[in-house]
A and B are shown apart, each in its own frame.
Chain A
Amino acid sequence: MIKEFVGATSGKFLGRPYRVLRAVVVLISLALLPAAHAALTIEIVGTGASQFPIAIVPFRAEAGLAQALTPVVAADLARSGLFSMVDAGGLNPLPYEPQDVNYAIWRARGADAVVIGSVAPLPDGRYDVRFRLMDVAKQAQLAGFAYTANATQLRLTAHRIADVIYEMLTSGKGVFSTRIAYIVKKGKRYELQVADADGYGAQTVRWSDEPIISPSWSPDGTRLAYVSFEQKKAVVYVQSLMTGQYQAVANYWGSNSAPTWSPDGRTLAVVLSKEGGSQIYFISTDGKGQPRRMTNSSAIDTEPNFSPDGELLLFTSDRGGSPQIYGMPTAGGDPRRLTFEGSYNVTPRVSPDGKSFTFIQRNGGRFNVAVQDMTTRQVQVLTDGVIDESPSFAPNGRMILYATEVRGRGVLSAVSSDGRVKQRLTEDAGDVREPAWGPFPK
């Protein structure tokens, strides 16, 4: 039971020309129930249009560690579908420093970049981890960092290294050190879990014998809002991931559901039925004060989601006769219908850059993840499952996590925003559903 922020892995830049990424990595520990033993296993079901060939040489002295770093780095990069791993074996001695790198060998093996590094124990029991990313064509260093980490932070450090490599080589921010939340149903028990983006380190945040649905991350990643039926009706809770404490923030007459955070973290949009019908309200994140009603219809208005600038609220409504996605200014103004293809479009989630939104579209008998461009209204259907649900953008906007069913069991999947790369995350015990991808760590 770790209660405090663990100031992990201080990073130090090696070599000059590139900007220093975050110097201090903050690991938010879950002061909660014992860690769930089950881990999500990830399977890659597709690859990018072109893959960047990269060789990752085992770091000096990592073999003796409880957690070797380079296998985690390699798995992260491979999972993105944007990298192909070039064999780094059969060299004696292995290169650990820039002057050890024989570029002719790597050129011959087809690698465009080589990752080298080392791990050294420090007197205080922690480790000094260093890595360098070398450009084979230019025979020069692209990036280099040093980190200080204790034994439990080695995995996170590896994700950080993968994030740096991803950012240097693909010009997008890596999401390997982010986390995901989801619900696992095991028999009659529902568990709200949080895990690393690669499925490791799953921990149960809350469990109940009544359903839990709709987890939503606070923008700073320290809290989750969700709906629990433990009071035999839908009530919205907010829970701190640092202390484990939770409180009901919307428990009005009728049903309380579909929480989502405003980008400034000060407001929750929720759906209440206290005045009859399901309508969207704004409430404070501690539940104090009076809810402010945002929609006024005799139809269903639900599944609110904010644009990243907080100015637009997307939601699902059947005011036009079938469920479609609408957008309305949060400052006030009439809702405008956004989806026109098909008779069932639900669960809108705006992309991190605000230029598109993902949603679920029914096509024939199938429910699939689609994206629509905010300006051109062009729709692209990304998945082909029978029942795909709950799409959620990675904070870099490049992947969409969603729930699907394989042989009658709920599993999580992810698809790249262009539909090319697909991953499947399966849990060994139970039904997994309602995924929500967390923000970049602050």
Chain B
Amino acid sequence: MNRILTATVVLFLLALAGCAATPTAEQSGAAVEDRGKPVGPPVVPAKPKPDTGAKPLFEKPLGAAALKDPGNILSRRSVYFDFDSNLVKDEFRPLVTAHARYLQQNPGTKMRIEGHADERGSREYNIALGQRRSEAVKQMMQLLGARPDQIESVSFGEEKPKGTGHDEASWAENRRGDIVYQGE
């Protein structure tokens, strides 16, 4: 039990430090996403300081235009997950950080994070899996300074696939969380 907790904390700290190895996806065609225990940020007891990245003092708050600017990281909205995982991978940390900072700088702004799952397994169970992913992203944003009431975590389960094939390529595309700002 202690070992698991320690491992989880270490994993999380590694993720925060930005040097976590990307977990390899289990990709058997037969398997489904069904692991129970979350391994990402949600279970971490030790709360790190919000926004560990150094923030330049002269940084100007970004306006809503930045959300649509293809040159801005804020226009990127999807966080992809490995099979059977709700761990926010390292490569998506800058994206999550940018949105968390945007929420912090625009306290009146709200968003939904829409969790998704691949098509295998029961529809309702997949709603819950997507919800877990959405909440993992939300918790990371909270740790980075966003207010909880700015972010509503919801799930579409397997109902709105981006990839419509029945193969790993499509499934990987469908294991994700999408950031949608209020009014979009």
Q: Is B147 an interface residue (CB 8 A)?
A: no
Contact of A211 among B43, B112, B154, B159 (CB under 8 A): B159
Alpha-carbon gap, A322 to B152, bound state (A): 27
B29–A365 touching, CB < 8 Å: yes
CB closest chain-B residue, reference A278: B128
A319–B36 touching, CB < 8 Å: yes
> Of A123-131, A241-249, A253-261, A329-337, which stretch is located at the interface?
A253-261
- The A interface is mostly helix, strand or loop, or mixed, namely loop
Chain B residues packing against A (C-beta within 8 Å): 29-30, 32, 34-38, 43, 112, 114, 120-125, 127-129, 131-132, 135, 152-157, 159-160, 166, 180
Residues of A within 8 A of B38 (CB): 298
CB closest chain-A residue, reference B135: A276
Binary contact track A371-392/B, C-beta < 8 Å → 1, others 0? 0000000000000000101100
A302/B125 contact (C-beta < 8 A), A211-B160, A232-B112 known: yes
A255–B124 touching, CB < 8 Å: no
* Inter-chain pairs besides A234-B155, A302-B128, 6 sampled, C-beta below 8 Å: A213-B157, A233-B114, A254-B153, A320-B36, A362-B30, A434-B123
Contact of A278 among B32, B120, B131, B152 (CB under 8 A): B131
Alpha-carbon gap, A219 to B171, bound state (A): 37
Residues of B within 8 A of A106 (CB): none
Most buried by A among B38, B120, B127, B180: B127
Alpha-carbon gap, A319 to B38, bound state (A): 11
Q: Is A303 an interface residue (CB 8 A)?
A: yes
CB closest chain-B residue, reference A279: B128
B34–A343 touching, CB < 8 Å: yes
CB closest chain-B residue, reference A304: B124
Residues of A within 8 A of B129 (CB): 300
Q: Is A344 an interface residue (CB 8 A)?
A: yes
Residues of A within 8 A of B157 (CB): 213
Residues of B within 8 A of A367 (CB): 120-121
Alpha-carbon gap, A283 to B128, bound state (A): 19
Contact of A303 among B35, B36, B125 (CB under 8 A): B125
Alpha-carbon gap, A316 to B129, bound state (A): 12
Most buried by A among B34, B114, B120, B129: B34
Q: Is A197 an interface residue (CB 8 A)?
A: no
Within 8 A of B (CB), among A264-302: 271, 273, 276-278, 298-300, 302
B37–A321 touching, CB < 8 Å: yes
Shortest A303–chain B CB gap in Å is 5
Within 8 A of B (CB), among A372-428: 387, 389-390, 408
CB closest chain-B residue, reference A211: B159
Alpha-carbon gap, A127 to B110, bound state (A): 63
Residues of B within 8 A of A300 (CB): 36, 125, 128-129, 132
CB closest chain-B residue, reference A346: B122
Shortest B166–chain A CB gap in Å is 8
Residues of A within 8 A of B125 (CB): 300, 302-303, 316, 323, 346-347
Alpha-carbon gap, A390 to B123, bound state (A): 9
A271–B156 touching, CB < 8 Å: no
Most buried by A among B32, B123, B135: B123
A364/B30 contact (C-beta < 8 A), A273-B153, A299-B36 known: yes
Q: Is A229 an interface residue (CB 8 A)?
A: yes
Shortest B153–chain A CB gap in Å is 6
Alpha-carbon gap, A298 to B180, bound state (A): 26
